[in-house]
């Protein structure tokens, strides 16, 4: 795990599907790599890409408005990261 730059925040998002339900999770770490917050949610979807997109948007909606440092959002799905980057013009990182 690589922490974000000084005064930055890193949001890791992930999703898993079981049946017709998706389970979403987001964790936030500070520039020292310390866990600062975590969020979970569910959605009705059996599509892994839609689940990963939901997790990415959960991460985006979890960024506090007072955040004034660098924000990195990281996820497992390169396609989801590219779609969010294109739609929201955010810097997202995914697998290469």
Q: What is the pLDDT of residues 6-59, one digit of tens each?
A: 888 899 999 999 999 999 999 999 888 899 999 999 999 999 999 999 999 899
Q: Which residues contact 41 (CB under 8 A, 6 or more apart)?
A: 24, 54, 58
pTM, whole model, 2 decimals? Answer: 0.82
Q: What ranges do the domains of the chain cover?
A: 9-93
Of the pLDDT bands very low, low, confident and very high (cuts 50, 70, 90), residue 80 is: confident
Superfamily of the domain at 9-93? Ribonuclease H-like superfamily/Ribonuclease H (3.30.420.10)
DSSP letter assigned to residue 91? -
At residue 51, the pLDDT reads: 95
Q: Helices marked H in the chain — which ranges?
A: 48-62, 78-88
């Amino acid at each position: 795990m690589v922490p974000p730059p000084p005064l930055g925040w890193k949001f890791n998002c992930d999703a898993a599907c079981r049946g017709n339900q998706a389970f979403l999770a987001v964790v936030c770490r500070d520039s020292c790599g310390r866990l600062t917050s975590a969020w979970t949610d569910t959605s009705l979807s059996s599509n892994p890409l839609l689940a990963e997109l939901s997790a990415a948007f959960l991460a985006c909606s979890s960024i506090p408005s007072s955040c004034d440092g660098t924000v990195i959002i990281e996820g497992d799905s390169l396609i989801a990261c590219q779609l969010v980057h294109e739609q929201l013009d955010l810097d997202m990182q995914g697998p290469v």
